[in-house]
Structure formats: structure tokens, C-alpha cells
A and B are shown apart, each in its own frame.
Chain A
């Protein structure tokens, strides 16, 4: 067994720490870099985009901008949220394609901003995961559970590439 090296795509600070927002989807807790997070909202009225990828099947009005609302559950082998599920929206700003874009992430509940230390992170195991391995950048052992650090940048970049390709 090789010694787990820290995933390169996480921007640890000089002390080997990361400020991250943790949130719950289904039975799992996830963590994303707090610096991406723009705002946390209660669920707003959503608009279905017929024909869009189920990961980004809705639009919301975020302060006068129309932004996609993503439901990452299908990417982690969970049932997509229904319109009636209690939800919060985490608005993140990501670099997608040609520029920075806001995307809303649907979460069942938003937990806290926590400090994750580099030593507590393990790379996703080769086997034994229910999810595509490259959707995950790392796993953090915390108390009696595990926090997943998803690779949302890759997820959205791929979605955009796929969307762009099917046009041309």
C-alpha cells in the first residue's frame, strides 16, 4: 500500500489547512472550499429546463441573474431531489469554460464552515466506492463519519464541454 499523498487540486494554505463549507446531501456530508461560496439561500422557486442534463436541470433567479441550479445527487448515486424536498441553495462562483459563472448547488442542509487539516484527508480508495472515483478529490475522517470533498470544478467543466460539443 502506498502512502496517501495529499490531492493536488486542493489549495491548502501554508499551515496545511483549508476553510471549507460542509453540507449534507442524502446520507453523506460534503465539503467545498469556502472561498468558492458566494452566498447561501433558502430554496427559491425553480424553473425546469427541458432537455438539460439532470445534474443541472433547473434555473433560479439569483439577484436578477439567471443561474443554473445543480443537483449533484445523481453524480453520487443518489436519487435526484424532488421539488418538495427541504433544501438550501449554495451559490458558488466557478470558472467554467470562458469565464467565471455562478452556479447554485442544491443541498439538503448546510452544516458549518470547518477547518480541514491536510493530514486528515485521504485520496478516494481504488475500490469500494459507489461513485465515480474522479468525482471525489478526497475523503476526510471526522469523528464517527466521513466528509467527502467532491471535485465540482471537474464536474461542471465536463458538463460544459459536453454541452458545448453536442451543439457543434
Chain B
């Protein structure tokens, strides 16, 4: 195994912490009084500060410290959580990401800190804001380090030197707690210090000196001009709080919950498990032929273990779309701010699992689609109220699995797509002939045509250079489709259907001739027997009557040219894609099969009947039927047959 760069790990973890902070902040924006959220943000910032310092991200630690302090005050009820504070910390959170990546201009940080101070000061009714910004009159600081501070690597002399560098000050040691010489362990630290700053020093500067030891030390800091006996609790930096103490534990618990592994290692592991399963099936064959009882029982044990291992393996690469959807909350928050519209994002079906690579590649297209909905779809508050709609626009993002596909819809309740304008624009751009006759779907699909969106608005959100044609291309490269629906005045819906490549689907394993095929179970409606007489009767027309409805069917034996004799009792598997149905005639229905989809080779891209292949328990390969394709084939055959019949009649 290669050595792992701890700094790289820190970056990843910091990214996750910041994601968490962002989510919590966005929640907090809606529920300003939720103490649990304030605590959560505080803890995350605290952890980030600590581990940042540990890995040498001093600028990050120092910057985060100020945000943490602000939240600490909120936590203690000294300052209220305000929308402004949340907004400032959100931008601070972005700055922290930049600091983690190491490319943050210092000026940005200073500007954010200034806003932070203002936010905290504004929010505070108590005079607690004053000491934070003041300090021109000097400070009285007294602090004592924990007894084991020197054993932990803290050098008090260096702290004192740093304090001296801040400005003129007098330092007096407190020696009253030093034990008698006999009891004194020389490595223990029993001295406390009183420091008086005369000049203009900020509170932050002083606190920064203690940034790495602050959690364990006792410290009071009071402005010199305030009466010394009026040390308000808010200027106290208390010793360790329960929350802070609990922190390492919660971090440890988190580490136990997930391990990060590069995706290619999972692929390798998956291949190995595949090999193991094949080797195991050979073993059980041998054991079954001429093995003794002992060999057979070992073989069965291994069969069970290998099966379980495979099942466990299959789900490892799948991640819930929640990881994707979560990232859009911030997007919508920012869009609402930038456009001045009230926008509510509703997400559904976050637990739907999709292969990790698919999730990653869906991000950019979804950003663009959501942005489009918010920007162009939703009206302004005034327009909405005038149209009798609720003031806040709604963008609904949902996901569910249907057959071998994940269906993601982006729906808004805005003004809908203006078909007249789409047509006019397409004609102006030469995409269609003036006055061309187009179906509704054809017309709507024009928004995905290259060169359609001429008004390339480059804002900080759309600066990625992704146009709607790129959205379409990305979805198609995932072998997916885009549908658009729109009702004037009521909103539009964009539906993405993406095959779950590498995902696991429940399949129905069937046999046609000598080949085995997998039908995605979710598209199976029912299975029936094709009786001999029905079979003969249906020779002339490939239609069966199913509960008073004519359903076309395909004889897969003919379609696949197996060249084998049909089994005497054939079965029909009725499959559907939405409204369209088609029956597939197979020789045998073998049973359910957990199917890991493997992509077809580029050499087989022209074989339209199959969406992929899978490896079965005995090591053999079965092809996965592409139901949408087969239904289309069945329907079109049916039509051409009817046309022939009509022509003949």
C-alpha cells in the first residue's frame, strides 16, 4: 500500500466538515433559535481549528478561531443568531475552503472578520459588543496553564514572548499555587501570569496567542478601562466546556462510521470477488462429483461465504443521491440572494442509490438545470402574487429508481416555458425553418440544441460555461435521456432518466435457446404461459389478449436467431415502460437474480437489444435486456405488420 499523505487526508476531512457546517448553517438560517444547530456548527468549527493547527494550516486555524468564538458567544446566549451572522459565516466557510486549498487572499479574510465583528456587535443588546471591538485602553489578562502543559509540548516562555510582541506590557508571575519543593514535579507548570497591556491591542490578537492551548487553560481578559471587579462573564473565556471535551470522542466515532477508499480499489476488489465466485463454483462442482462428505461441507460453507461477500461488495460503490442533493441547497440559497426571489428547494427520494461516478457526473448538469429553473422559470415575488401563487417559488428535486434507471426530476412552479419565444429564438438562430411544423416535445427539446441559448449570462454561478446543450450531451454520455414538460403559468418539469450503470438491479433470469438473459424486474408486469394453441393461433399475428387488451409480443428465440427448437411450454414475460407494453416469449423463467450491470464493450455498441451484461454465480455471462429498446421494436413491428395487413386487405 502506498503511503498516505496526512495533509491530503486533512483536506478531505476539512472538506467534509465544511460541508457539514454549510448544511447546518443553511438549516440554522431557517431556525435561528435552534440551539442544537448552533452547537453543531460550533463543534465542527472547533474540530476544524484543532486539526488545521495540527497539520500546519495556521492561517486556517486562526481564521476559524474567530468564527468559532462568535458561535461560542451565540451558544452561551451572549449574542443572538441572526440571519446576518449566518450569511457572514457562510462566506467565512467559503474562505476556509480557500484556506484549506491554500489560495486565499488575506484581504478577503480580514473583510469577512470585520463583517463578523459587526454582525456579532449588531446582534448584541448587552454591552458585550464593546469589549470585542474596543481595547484601545488596554487589557488586563490573567492566565494559568494546565499542570501538564509542558509535558504536552507547550512552552510558556514562548507564549510570553508572543504577548510581548503585541505591544508594551507588564508581565507578573503568580506563584501562589506552587507546591512545596518536596511535592514539586519539575515538569509540572504551576505558575500563573498577570499581564497588563497599556496600548492599543485587539482582543483577537491576544486570544490568538493562546489559540492552541486555549481549550485547556484558565484565562480572563478584561479591558483595562472597565472596572477590574466588573469582569462580565462574557469576556471570560471559560475552561474546557463539556462540548469541547466531548469533541474528540465524536470525531473518533465519526472515523469509525466511514472509511474512504479510492474507487478503483473497489473495482479491483469487485473483480477479485468475481473470480472467487467462479473458482468456488468449480470447487462445488468437483465436490459434488466425487468429494467426500467433509469436502462437500467445506465447499458449501465457502459457497455461502462467497455469495455473501459478493452481495456485500455490490453495494459498496453505491451512494445515496442525498450527497448530490445536499450540495444544491447552498446553490438555491445563493440564487435566492442574487435574484432577490424567495425560493424554496424541496428534495425527495434522497435515499435512492446511484453509482458514485454517475452521481459525480450529474452534478454539473443539475446545477445548470436548477439554475435555469430559478433564474428563468420562477417569477419575481410581485409577479407571483399577481398570478395568485404563493410568494416563494418552489423548486422540487426528486429521485427514484424505475427499472434499470434512476429518474431525477426538477420541477418548478414558475411561469413555464414560453413556446412562442422558443420558436422565435430557434427560427432566429436558424435551428428550424420559419413556420416548421414541430411536435410539442420537439419544440421543447429545442432548448437543448447547441447554439440555442445565445444569452450567455455569465454570473458567478453559471461561470462554468455549461450550456443546455452540454447538459444534454452529459446526460446522453451516461446513456440517459431528458424529457421536458411545461404548462404555461404553472411551471415546467425536466425529467432525467439515467441507467444505473454498475448498479445492482433485481433481475428476472430467463432462458432463450441456450442463452440466459436478465430482464430488469422493475419493468416486469407479469409472467404467463403461452399455451400451445395460443401459440399456434398467434403465429399469424404477434399479439395476445391480456385482460381485453391486445399486447404485441416478441419471440426472443426468433429475434436472437437461436436456431434451437422451442420448449413445449413457453412463457411470456410482459414488460412495460410506462404506458407501452410488450410481451417477451422465452423458453424458461429461471428465477430472480441480483444483477451487477457491466457495460457493453465499445465493439458491441450497435447491439441495441442489450443494455449491459452481468456475471452469474456459476461464472457465466448473461446479457441484460434493454426493455425500452425491445418495447420500441415490438411496437414498431406491430405497426408495420398492421400496415402490411391493411395494404394486403
Contacts and interface: CB of A to CB of B under 8 A. Distances in A.
B367 to A, nearest CB: 25
B275 A164 contact: no
Contacts of B614: 66
Interface residues of A, number: 35
A96 B605 CA distance: 12
Contacts of A156: 603
A156 B272 CA distance: 27
B605 A50 contact: no
Contact of B604 (A44, A45, A56, A60): A56
B613 interface: yes
Contacts of B274: 61, 63-65
A66 B609 contact: no
A60 B613 CA distance: 10
A61 B312 CA distance: 20
A53 interface: yes
Given A59-B621, A61-B274, A63-B274, A103 B603 contact: yes
A47 B515 contact: yes
Interface of chain B: mostly helix, strand, loop or mixed: mixed
A59 B613 contact: yes
A160 to B, nearest CB: 4
A166 B606 contact: yes
Given A63-B275, A64-B615, A167-B608, A47 B621 contact: yes
Given A49-B607, A103-B603, A160-B602, A61 B561 contact: no
Contacts of A41: none
Interface string A142-168: 000000000000001001101111110
B228 interface: no
B604 A61 contact: no
A96 B613 contact: no
A61 B620 contact: yes
A52 B607 contact: yes
A163 B621 contact: no
A114 interface: no
B619 interface: yes
Contacts of A59: 613, 621, 623
Interface in B596-646: 598, 601-610, 613-615, 619-623
B270 A68 contact: no
Given A49-B610, A51-B609, A66-B598, A61 B603 contact: no
Contact of B623 (A47, A53, A103): A47
A101 B601 contact: yes
A165 B607 CA distance: 11
B273 interface: yes
9 contacts: A45-B620, A45-B621, A50-B560, A50-B561, A56-B604, A64-B272, A65-B598, A101-B601, A101-B602
Q: Give me the 9 closest cross-chain CB pairs, A-B, nearest first.
A: A64-B274, A50-B560, A64-B271, A163-B606, A47-B621, A163-B605, A166-B606, A97-B602, A66-B613
Given A61-B274, A63-B272, A66-B613, 12 more contacts: A45-B619, A45-B620, A45-B621, A47-B623, A49-B610, A50-B561, A51-B606, A53-B603, A56-B604, A59-B623, A63-B274, A66-B614
Interface of A: 44-53, 56, 59-61, 63-68, 70, 96-98, 101, 103, 156, 159-160, 162-167
Interface of B: 270-275, 278, 514-516, 559-562, 598, 601-610, 613-615, 619-623
